[in-house]
Amino acid sequence: MVQYPYEGQGFKDWSGALEKYSDSFLIDLFYKMLRIRLIEEEIENRYFDDLMKTPIHLVIGQEATAVGACAALSTSDLLYSGHRTHGAYLGKGGDLKKMLSEMHCKANGCAGSRGGSMHLIDPDVGMAWSSAIVGGAIPIATGAALASQYKSDQNVTMVFFGDGGTEEGVCSESLNFASLKQLPIIFFCENNFYSVQSPLRTRQSQRDIFRWAEGHGINSSVVDGTNVLEVYEATKSAVEKIRDGGGPHFIEAKVYRFRAHGGAGDDSQTGYREVEEREMWERHCPVESYYSFLDQNNLGIKSQRPELQKQIEQEIRDCFEHALKSPEPKKADLFKYVYAD
Amino acid sequence: MPWDESLVNSLVYDEPDPKQGRVLSYVQSLNEALRIALEDNESVIVMGQGVDDPSAMFGSTKGLQDRFGESRVFDTPLSEEGMMGVCTGAAMRGLRPVYMHNRPDFILLAFNQLITHAAKCHFMDNGLTQVPLVVWAAIGRGWGSGAQHSQAIQGLLMGVPGLKILMPSTPYDAKGLMLQAIQDNSPTIIFEHRWLMKKNGFVPEGKYLVPIGQGVCRREGEDLTIVGASHAIELAYQASKLLAADGVDVEIIDLRSIQPIDDQLIEDSIRKTGRLLVVDTGWAIGGVCAEIGFRAVEKWFSYLKGAVRRVGLPDVPTPAGYALEQHYYPTAQNIVDVVKDMCRK
Ligand SMILES: Cc1ncc(C[n+]2csc(CCOP(=O)(O)OP(=O)(O)O)c2C)c(N)n1
């Protein structure tokens, strides 16, 4: 039985809204989602070469959240994430070379091979931090928002976490504190209905996550996380209100991961969820449904796609090559940065 | 008023002579340190449950909110893990939070953020971020503090790379170490002892720093070295007076910082005396006693004339009741007995 069917409306009512966006903006969203998809697929293809000795948590199926939400942020805004980092890092503009070097355990990885795939950071573009502990980044992001408020630096902080993350005590603690202090932060929950192989129904009572968030006195909403424009609009509206001095926002996006919780390939056939359920969501793939939408609205995407794809594939090949030939860290590196100077 | 105030007020310490310098109580000295730090650096903020209430964290935060405002000195929700994470995130973004707890027992709720996040950010980030924060708590003892309000957890934390742990024993050090800890760029924990709060001592005006990782010799002696920190030093000092009357001359090393540890100071002393007793306010197993004892065997064995000994808490949770407590906590007399036994051999 399909436990968590897709219940969104896709792009049904969106054609009329198109005129407020420039063509380049619309195409750029597609380009960014396609890029993440192709990067993830290549990581997956190469995973069993065992040269990336790191756990991976692919975001295939969840590209629209990272891309749509990050499109509403500026570079100096801060992004935090949980273990499922790839989309957040790339969506915020993180350096692909540094990411792949990190995954190949190389000295020039974004964290010098001390973080691994669950700890991708790139301070230059505001990809501030991530934690491999579920919920761990949520209070840290809240602290960053406190610092922004204290310094009046106008930055908005956003933190990505899963439905599982909302079950951790620190999530409630952080929502309460952010609400209390009216901090400039967006709590962004990617609800993909599963924590590893545990469905929501064995973990939470029947409730809407965003309603639960609302109970903390936070402005909360829910969006179709397969629709990049809907994600963008919800985030943009939150960002604008925050920049106008409004307090924290909570956005729940309903999404689906097309692969297993971790590693390469899907594991639906093990029985914790129906293959049919995944296939249903795949018919609402964030990349392809947006592509069809652009195509139907005559944005010339069909003629551009092959070139975009070629360009991305070349970039990916180059970055993998760069990672593979990059140097490994040395023994002396191990002992650095235990304490800060 | 904290429930154990009358107990703490009843404790008797050697009184410094006010003619020889300015005398402050331990708590006054902490209050002064926080005031100076807040004046000194806009990035410093002070938070904790009740820092702005009439008890003011035993008095250490008295008047600070009035002076520096609610954005810099504030009460927090009862969310130890969450607030530890908030401090970590704020520190990574340039603030210098001082997060105060009445008791170390409450820090146990924050271990995930303290140990698995704050202590490791700088390392995991390959040096890209720093976490300059201070976590402060006062170890409880007596008046029913019991198993859940008297835990001296320094031993649990000593083995966590990336943390610095300070345990002052005098008002002078309390101020100088607090100021140094706030200035340090790594997460630093200060464990005070509730019984030291009303102790008086010489405290210079203005800003001065006590370096982290440097111990101090409190009493020179020839026969045996006692190493410890915080309130254990007070006990060792009382024991040294009793021992001197019997012709036993002990040297007392106050570590002040138990992570990092001042190895050189201990080594120099053991080389002279050949005997080592380690004292601590925490459990003898797996903590300060165990670590220093092992270092002695590993590094300084050839100087030793006999077995290293320790006086810490027995392998038992703290009882709440007064009568049981008398059998639980070590006394100066316990130290005297162990030292005499060691010197006989
Ligand atoms: C505190 C903690 N508990 C358990 C885990 C193991 N774990 C890693 S990811 C994960 C699933 C989390 O699910 P969710 O938060 O919904 O995010 P998703 O993986 O679906 O993106 C679990 C249980 C962990 N890393 N940290």
Q: Which residues line ligand 1 (CB under 6 A)?
A: A 83-84, 132-134, 161-165, 192, 194-196, 261
Q: Is residue B324 part of a domain?
A: yes
Q: Is residue B69 part of a domain?
A: yes
Residues B233 and B109 in one domain: no
A4-33 pLDDT per residue, tens: 999 999 999 999 999 999 999 999 999 999
The H or E element that residue B10 is part of is: helix B5-10
Percent over 70 (pLDDT), chain A = 100
- Give yes or no for residue A203 having a pLDDT over 90: yes
Of B202, B229, B256, the residue that ends a domain is B202
Dihedral angle sign, alpha carbons of residues A70, A74, A79, A83: positive
- Pairwise CB contact (< 8 Å): B164 & A339: yes
Q: Which chain A residues touch B186 with a CB distance below 8 Å?
A: 339-340
Q: Are B237 and B252 contacting, i.e. CB atoms less than 8 angstroms apart? A: yes
| pLDDT value of position B6 | 85
Q: Tell me, yes or no, whether B70 lies in a domain.
A: yes
Q: In this complex, do B79 and A151 lie within 8 Å of one another by their Cβ atoms?
A: no
For testing contact with chain A, the best of B46, B86, B111 (most A CBs within 10 A): B86
Cα angle A32, A107, A161; round to 5: 45
Q: Name the token pair of A28.
A: 């750029």
Ordered structural domains, chain A, with CATH: 15-333 (3.40.50.970)
CATH code where residue B197 lies:
3.40.50.970
Q: What is the domain range of residue B146?
A: 21-202
SS3 call for A235: helix
Distance from Cα A163 to the centre of ligand 1, integer Å: 9
> Are B139 and B329 within 8 A, CB to CB?
no
Residues B116 and B166 in one domain: yes
Percent of chain A with pLDDT over 90: 98
Last residue of a domain, which of B177, B202, B227?
B202
Q: Whose CA is nearest to atom 12 of ligand 1?
A: A195
B129 vs A contacts (CB less than 8 Å): 121, 123, 129
Answer whether residue B246 is part of any domain: yes
Residue B107, pLDDT score:
98
Q: Is B13 part of a structural domain of the chain?
A: no
d(CA A166, CA A183): 18
**B189 and B229 inside one domain:** no
B29, B158: one domain: yes
Instruction: Report which of B330, B319, B343 is spatially closest to residue B280, judged by C-alpha positions.
Output: B330
Last residue of a domain, one of B175, B202, B229: B202
pLDDT at A211: 98
Do B239 and B140 share a domain, yes or no? no
Within a domain: B311: yes
Domains identified in chain B, total number: 2
Q: By the 8 A CB rule, do A321 and A314 touch?
A: no
Q: What is the pLDDT of residues A208-241, one digit of tens each?
A: 999 999 999 999 999 999 999 999 999 999 999 9
Same domain, B62 and B114: yes
Contact A35, A295 (CB under 8 A): no
CA atoms within 13 A on the CB side of B337: 6
For testing the chain A interface, which of B117, B121, B126, B189 should be mutated: the one with the most A CBs within 10 Å?
B126
SS (H, E, C) B206-259: CCCCCCCCCCEEEECCCCEEEEECCHHHHHHHHHHHHHHHCCCCEEEEECCEEE
Q: Are residues B62 and B129 in the same domain?
A: yes
The count of CB pairs under 8 A between chains A and B is: 139
Report the C-alpha gap between B102 and B51 in whole angstroms.
Answer: 10
Looking at the fold, whether B338 and B221 belong to one and the same domain comes out as yes
Do both B64 and B144 map to the same domain? yes
B281 contacts: CB under 8 Å, gap ≥ 6 = B139, B141, B152, B154, B167, B193, B229, B230, B231, B232, B312, B313
Whole-angstrom Cα distance, residue A78 to residue B345?
64
Q: Are B315 and B193 contained in the same domain?
A: no
Domain check: are B277 and B195 in the same one?
no
- Nearest chain B residue to A117, by CA: B124
Alpha carbon distance B277, B28 (integer Å): 32
Tell whether the model's pLDDT for residue A185 goes beyond 90: yes
Candidates B101, B149, B193, B231; catalytic one: B149
Task: Kindly give the confidence (pLDDT) of every residue in chain B, 345 residues in length, as a single tens digit, with 9 standing for 90 and above.
Answer: 577 888 898 888 989 999 999 999 999 999 999 999 999 999 999 999 999 999 999 999 999 999 999 999 999 999 999 999 999 999 999 999 999 999 999 999 999 999 999 999 999 999 999 999 999 999 999 988 999 999 999 999 999 999 999 999 999 999 999 999 999 999 999 999 999 999 999 999 999 999 999 999 999 999 999 999 999 999 999 999 999 999 999 999 999 999 999 999 999 999 999 999 999 999 999 999 999 999 999 999 999 999 999 999 999 999 999 999 999 999 999 999 999 999 986
What is the total residue count of chain A? 341
Contacts of A337 in chain B (CB under 8 A): 122-123, 125-127
Where do we find the tokens 């997956």?
A44
Within this chain, do residues B237 and B110 fall inside the same structural domain, yes or no? no
Set of chain B residues whose Cβ sits within 8 Å of the Cβ of A111:
124-126, 128
- pLDDT for B22 equals 97
Tell me if residue B149 is catalytic: yes
Contact by Cβ (8 Å): A226, A10: yes
**For residue B238, what is the domain's CATH number?**
3.40.50.920
Beta strand pairing call for B73-74 and A219-224: unpaired
Q: How far is CA A114 from the centre of its chain?
A: 21
Amino acid code (one letter) for A283 = R
Identify the three-state secondary structure at position B166: strand
At A162, the pLDDT band (50, 70, 90 cuts) reads very high
Residue B1 lies in a domain: no
ipTM score for this prediction:
0.96
Residue B334 lies in a domain: yes
Q: How many CB atoms lie within 10 A of CB A205?
A: 7
- Per-residue pLDDT of B312-339, as tens digits, reads 999 999 999 999 999 999 999 999 999 9
Mean of all residue pLDDT scores within chain A: 97
The number of CA neighbours under 13 Å toward the Cβ of B173 is 27
For position B5, what pLDDT does the model report?
Answer: 86
